[in-house]
Amino acid sequence: MIIWIASYPKSGNTWIRSIISSYFFSDTGKFNFDLLGNIPQYPSSKYFKFPIKKPGEVSLYWKSTQDELSKNNKNVFLKTHNAMVALNGRDFTSSTNTLGSIYIVRDPRNIISSMKNHYDFDDYSETFDFMVNKRKFIWDERENNNYSSFQFLGSWSDHYKSWLKNSSFKTLLVKYEDLEKDCYSTSLKIIEFINFLKGENVKVDEKKLFNCIQTTNFDILKRKEIENGFQESIKYKDKKKDFFYLGPKNKWQEKLPKDILSRVKKEFIDDLKYFNYSLD
């Protein structure tokens, strides 16, 4: 059965994968980038026997590939940016193959600056347009017209609602900002939730979890990327963009121009209120 680590892009998915992978796939809880391979992205070309030639066509194989992944009641972790939607009459996933999900949400104003860097957008306006596009999807453009990594996003608002309104399985909501404020308590909730999903009544190893947190803070991850590279970073015009960009220094109050802040507030006012994000 699948446990999803789901989010809109640039919301903290990699940070949480780092904590989870170091806790469940290492003896000591000490993180290294290789551990992320235990929580791979879905979908991607590794799950298909042939290239997917059209955007959205991958949805025809969501169920069969997930059937294969979860057979024999084996538990697997998967990362996704896909919204919990139906395409071509097929649901992204269901309780048949899914044990539960962890959904990470982040203030959209901080996503904008992070995403502008990650996708090398020309300006904040282009990034905002990306986030409000209800038909938006992404894929790995390096795969030469192979859409195996196609992930349907929709708008930022529709994306989180698609996962949180789903009632087919349990979902734990994690706010990126809570990880920043109290990483230990928030991580503890995540590990306890996973143990609950797996039906394991075991006490969390506090020392191991402490090691997970200590070795996955932003400064350490950024240094590891500089020293060793990071395969999930994207290259534009033969130049790789830093995946770990600003971290706790990413403050929308200091980064975003007033016109963009006004547009974000107007578009996402109800969402900002729902998550108790500042309106000032």
Domain chopping of the chain, boundaries:
2-107+135-235
pLDDT digit string (tens) for 229-266? 555 555 545 555 555 555 566 677 788 899 999 999 99
What's the fold here for domain 2-107+135-235? Rossmann fold (3.40.50)
Cα–Cα distances (Å) from 30 to 76, 218, 220, 278, in that order, read 21, 14, 12, 35
Quote the Cα angle for 182-185-188, to 5°: 140
Least confident of 73-77, 190-194, 272-276: 73-77
pLDDT digit string (tens) for 144-157? 889 999 999 999 99
Q: How far apart are CA 51 and CA 57, in angstroms?
A: 10
Please compute the mean of the pLDDT values over residues 171-180 and round it to a whole number.
Answer: 96
Both tokens of 24, joined, read 């469940």
Cα–Cα distances (Å) from 274 to 63, 193, 268, 277, in that order, read 33, 23, 10, 8
pLDDT digit string (tens) for 47-79? 999 999 999 999 999 999 999 998 877 889 999
* Per-residue pLDDT at 236: 43
* Per-residue pLDDT at 184: 96
| Mean pLDDT of the residues in the chain | 90
Nearest to 260 by CA among 101, 108, 133: 108
Confidence grade of residue 276 (pLDDT, cut at 50, 70, 90) = very high
Name the pairing type of β-strands 98-105 and 171-175: parallel
Q: Say what the pTM is.
A: 0.90
pLDDT digit string (tens) for 25-44? 999 999 988 999 999 999 99
